A and B are shown apart, each in its own frame.
Chain A
Amino acid sequence: MAMLQQQQQRRDRIRLALLLTPGLLWLILFFALPLVIIFVYSFMSNDALGRVVYEPTLNNYITIFTQSLYINAYWRSIWTSVLTTVICLLIGYPLAVFIARSPQQWRMPLLMLILIPFWTNFLVRIYAWQIILANNGIINGFLELIGVGRLSLLNNEGATLIGLIYGELPFMVLPLYAAIDRFDFTLMEAAADLGANKVQAFLRIMLPMTMPGIVAGSVLVFIPTLGQFVVSELLGGAKVDYLGNLIQRLFLRANPINWPLGSAMAVLMMIVLLVFIMLYFRATTEEER
């Protein structure tokens, strides 16, 4: 009996190992290992040809914290990501409510409309925004037609923000929709019945109950926005530096290239993300208590 049980347990362990191997190998090779390399590089320096010099130093971190170029990039990226997340939430929440409250047969088509942009390459869509915002673009053509005159819409931080919100909105709407669709709107009637006005009912009942969707959507928007570099380059005109642009430049285009400094920036970015997400989770789960 005990023998059989041991055999069974051994077989279960082997099966578990077999099931886990591919994923584990993939993550170790392409996730954990590069992360370790980046972490190690961040404490090295480079020579005049851009090669990594293997002598441990804290210089990269000191550079980041002392030179305004780098510090500013962090603040700019954090501020832009917060702004993008908040605006996506403010646009996405009513949108998700609208879809979840639509007649059953309309919900899937409406969700498909949200998803349609994904059928086209992201870069192509950002180029499309260039056409819309350009000095001789669609919006300016219209503004000139009605006599307002041309405005400079492209190649500034506003254009970057528009592009980011445009690109990230679906990642906010989908988890919000999932949460709001599960929400029982009878609870809002119950709250009204107990004397709550619309705002009170929303803040006390619907908001806490759809918080998982808000958290999921915010995290999904915040993380890629913090490290992005394409939108700020194509729509922002690369006039100001965001984190992603700096890291990309340090790795690929600087003269000489500086992988150790780029690595240090990437490590700090990860720390910023972790701190932000932890603070966010703590704040939002406290609401529930």
Chain B
Amino acid sequence: MSDSIAIELRDVVKRFGDVVAVDHVNLQIRDGEFFSLLGPSGCGKTSSLRMIAGFELPTFGSIIIHGREMGITPPHLRPVNTVFQSYALFPHMTVAQNIAFGLEMRKTPKEEIARRVQEALDLVRLSGLEGRRPRQLSGGQQQRVALARALVNHPEVLLLDEPLGALDQKLRKEMQLELKSLQARVGITFVFVTHDQEEALTMSDRIAVMNKGKILQIGTPTEIYERPNCRFVADFIGETNFIDGVVIGRDGNYTVLETPEGLRLRGLASRPLSNGTTATFSIRPEKVRLLTPNGELPPDGIAGTVISVNYIGSDTRITVRINDRRTIDVWEQNTRSTLDRDEYWQPGEAAVIVCPPDNALVLYE
């Protein structure tokens, strides 16, 4: 991965009538990067992708691909290829004809087309199926044909619009890893649109989280998960406990927040917050520790009562009530292989929750 920029979006706005689909987006995608645009439906991620591909033109702002301002360049003259959500394979052509289409449009010599189609088929492990029609293929195979049809052109950038959305869970997981390793092998910049946060975390080098046409945060999967910069990102990525309160001061590296019922909580703030600011304390359920009470509350400890215990295989999800208004979710990994659940937490049992301040965040908004 080099530091040169494959794609740049400069202050891009897209309006459809009165609706602002993309709202002043600035973005730099590096060469060879697996970059994901992540957000709920209608957040502007697909519109952004379609503008890069050239299917839509920005209302204003500019899109630059490898230093070239795209302007009103039509899709067929852009150095990118797209894998569509519905695959958009040509039903009246065979697999080989589908894959050869882009090369034929570029007037590639016949022998070279044959060779590159075969390479592309090998790349997506579909050799032997070149004579089939798309409708004779399974969903996963169609997906691979769509990939091969795009990659055979050696595009500078590959755009993928929720390409795994139509696959079942197991196949999806397989394809995630396959796509990731494929990208590493071909070294092409991938821009991947998804609403599935787990998918984005698994595959991406970097992620841009979008909501309502705006980019909220850009970062590596770890940064996005461990240091979300706002409540929306923390909420959208993974599970989180939120407690609203007011900032009352600082304690070393930590910002201290007080809830209306007088609970004091410490965590890392994504930026300095002045006293009196309304903010949200946030901690992931797997980062909360649950202890048996021994008379004295440890630092950052809160007394509570276990109200439900759900065993889900890899871990156990426990909900603890800490006062009349609030519950906190705690996930404990099932590190021991035991059938005896009686010795585990029971509903109604008293417990102490500890929120280590290094694992907790104080978020503005």
Contact = CB atoms under 8 A, between A and B. Distances in A.
* Co-complex (A, B): yes
Contacts of A205: 90
B187 interface: no
A204 B101 CA distance: 9
B105 interface: yes
Best-buried of A192, A197, A205, A208 by chain B (most CB within 10 Å)? A192
Given A200-B105, A204-B101, A193 B76 contact: yes
A180 to B, nearest CB: 15
B190 to A, nearest CB: 15
A191 B82 CA distance: 10
Contacts of B86: 184, 186
Contacts of B88: 184, 186-187, 189-190
Interface of B: 53-55, 74-77, 80-82, 84, 86, 88-92, 101-102, 105-106, 149-150, 153
Nearest to A211: B92
Contacts of B80: 193
Contact of A194 (B74, B91, B149): B149
Contacts of A187: 88, 90
Contacts of A196: 76, 101, 105
A191 B91 contact: no
Interface of A: 184, 186-187, 189-197, 200-201, 204-205, 208-209, 288
10 contacts: A187-B88, A187-B90, A189-B84, A189-B88, A190-B82, A192-B76, A193-B81, A194-B76, A200-B105, A288-B92
Contact of A190 (B74, B90, B106): B90
Contact of A193 (B53, B89, B106): B53
A193 B102 CA distance: 8
Contacts of A192: 54-55, 74-76
A194 B84 CA distance: 12
B84 A208 contact: no
A194 B92 contact: no
B174 to A, nearest CB: 24
B166 to A, nearest CB: 13
A198 to B, nearest CB: 8
B150 to A, nearest CB: 8
A209 B101 contact: no
Nearest to A289: B92
Nearest to B53: A193
A196 B54 CA distance: 13
Contacts of B75: 189, 192-193
Contacts of B53: 189, 193
Contacts of A195: 76-77, 102, 105-106, 153
A193 B88 CA distance: 11
A227 to B, nearest CB: 34
Nearest to B107: A195
User: When A and B form their complex, which 7 residue pairs have the shortest distance between CB atoms, in order from nearest?
Assistant: A195-B105, A194-B102, A190-B88, A192-B75, A186-B88, A193-B82, A192-B76
